[in-house]
């Protein structure tokens, strides 16, 4: 606080060193941004433009097509299978004009996930001119997952992005980062503004990522109550895929039922996420809270469904 009158350093060295130390990465291959959104923006700015195509998936993060259009490129949406990224659908859509493939893994808002074998099958079948962007915003909630770090190590055309908004709870500060080959990071840094992160942002992020014990506790609590929440929803007859994130996607019989359940939750002071904009109008995305929060939301849904 006593140094906020000074401009922040432009190379994010302290934060990059902390990220590298905690995750076992090379600090020189890390770039920091205003949320991982800004890193994704750097990627589209640098690697796509007029006449190019960027592949996204049916229920993929809504920013991907926005960023594609902002760069002058055309977003190409491919179908998913049972709310899960379909590797074959992506490969079928690749053309000479494809420059970038975006996927979130674990995915938002579905919570589903591709395993390492499927990820590698996708990357190994992409042409060398295509950049594969693995958005790992929810990495820490998937037990034992490295977020794509090994993919970056093994393939020169892979970029991994991460964020402090989820497991670290710093969404309001807007801090994210990316990891790739030094060549790619050097290109991205050419369009990054020198003072894109403030001293306060970097100090908070460094403190958060070094608090590994608290991060592990948050992941453990999330796993426990995510399982509890999903199992209870399924027992009420509500469809719910296994989730690897910090939310579950509840599937109702119709969009009208989802809307009515959302209204019942709001009446009780609970806000969940409607997912019609993700082509899932019959669903509600429900964040995993602590024990009291999970029990409360299930009580409201049970009364709505008339099962309790």
Q: Is it the case that residue 49 has pLDDT exceeding 90?
A: yes
Do 13-210 and 213-305 have matching folds? no
Give the number of other Cβ atoms within 10 Å of residue 96's Cβ. Answer: 7
Q: How far apart are CA 174 and CA 164, in angstroms?
A: 7
The answer to whether 147 touches 19, Cβ cutoff 8 Å, is: no
Count the Cβ atoms, other than its own, within 10 Å of residue 103.
24
- Which tokens sit at 299? 């009580």
The percentage of the chain sitting over the pLDDT mark of 90, rounded to a whole number, equals 97
pLDDT reading at 1 higher than 90: no
The tokens describing 22, both together, are 């905690």
What is the predicted pLDDT for the residue at 289? Answer: 95
Average pLDDT, the chain: 97
Nearest to 133 by CA among 239, 206, 61, 213: 61
d(CA 180, CA 186): 10
d(CA 137, CA 271): 21
User: For the CA atoms of the chain, what is the radius of gyration?
Assistant: 20
| Whether CATH 3.40.640.10 fits 13-210 | yes
- What pLDDT, on the 0 to 100 scale, is given for residue 308? 66
Mode of pairing for the β-strands spanning 30-33 and 176-179: antiparallel
Mean pLDDT of 273-279: 96
% of the chain residues with pLDDT over 70: 100
Q: Per residue in 159-217, pLDDT tens?
A: 999 999 999 999 999 999 999 999 999 999 999 999 999 999 999 999 999 999 999 99
Span 216-251, pLDDT tens digits: 999 999 999 999 999 999 999 999 999 999 999 999
Half-sphere exposure of 20 (CA within 13 A, CB side): 15
Nearest to 88 by CA among 99, 78, 101: 78
Which residue(s) pair with 135 in the sheet?
104, 161
Residue whose tokens read 């109008």: 281
Report residue 96 as tokens. Answer: 């000479």
Quote the pTM value.
0.94
Q: Which of 119, 115, 192, 107 is nearest to 158 (CA)?
A: 119
Of the chain, the end-to-end C-alpha distance in Å amounts to: 51
* Nearest to 32, CA basis, from 185, 172, 207, 209: 185
pLDDT at 144 over 90: yes
How big is the CA angle at 102 (ends 258 and 40), to the nearest 5 degrees? 100
- How would residue 4 be classed by pLDDT, with cut points 50, 70 and 90? confident
For the chain, domain boundaries: 13-210, 213-305
Residue with tokens 């948050």: 218
Please state the length of the chain: 308
| H or E stretch at 159 | strand 158-163
pLDDT of residue 219: 97
CATH class assigned to 213-305: alpha beta
**Residue 138 — very low, low, confident or very high, per pLDDT cuts 50/70/90?**
very high
Answer whether residue 108 shows pLDDT above 80.
Answer: yes
Q: How far apart (Å, rounded) are the C-alpha atoms in residues 183 and 43?
A: 13
pLDDT one-digit tens code per residue, 120-132: 999 999 999 999 9
pLDDT in tens, 249-259: 999 999 999 99
């Amino acid at each position: 606080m006593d140094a906020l009158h000074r401009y922040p350093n432009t190379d994010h060295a302290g934060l990059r060193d902390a990220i590298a130390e905690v995750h076992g990465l090379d600090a020189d291959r890390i770039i920091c941004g205003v949320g991982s959104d800004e890193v994704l923006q750097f990627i589209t700015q640098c690697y796509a433009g007029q006449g190019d195509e960027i592949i996204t998936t049916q229920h993929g993060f809504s920013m991907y097509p926005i960023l594609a259009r902002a760069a002058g490129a055309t977003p190409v949406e491919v179908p998913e299978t049972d709310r899960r990224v379909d590797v074959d659908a992506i490969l079928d859509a690749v053309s000479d004009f494809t420059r970038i493939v975006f996927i979130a893994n674990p995915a938002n808002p579905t919570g589903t996930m591709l395993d390492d074998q499927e990820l590698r099958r996708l990357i190994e079948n992409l042409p060398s001119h295509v950049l594969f962007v693995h958005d790992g915003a929810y990495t820490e909630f998937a037990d034992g997952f490295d977020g794509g770090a090994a993919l970056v190590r093994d393939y020169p055309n892979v970029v991994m992005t991460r964020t402090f908004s989820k497991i670290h709870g710093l969404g309001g500060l807007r801090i994210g980062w990316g990891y790739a080959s030094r060549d790619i990071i050097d290109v991205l840094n050419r369009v990054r503004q020198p003072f894109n992160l403030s001293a306060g942002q970097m100090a908070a992020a460094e403190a958060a990522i070094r608090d590994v014990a608290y991060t592990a506790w948050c992941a453990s609590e999330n796993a426990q109550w995510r399982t509890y929440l999903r199992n209870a929803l399924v027992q009420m007859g509500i469809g719910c895929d296994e989730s690897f994130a910090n939310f579950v996607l509840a599937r109702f019989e119709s969009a009208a039922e989802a809307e009515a359940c959302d209204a019942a939750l709001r009446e009780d002071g609970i806000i969940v996420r409607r997912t019609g904009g993700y082509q899932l109008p019959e669903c509600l995305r429900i964040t995993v809270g602590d024990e009291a929060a999970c029990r409360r939301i299930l009580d409201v849904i049970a009364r709505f469904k008339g099962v309790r």
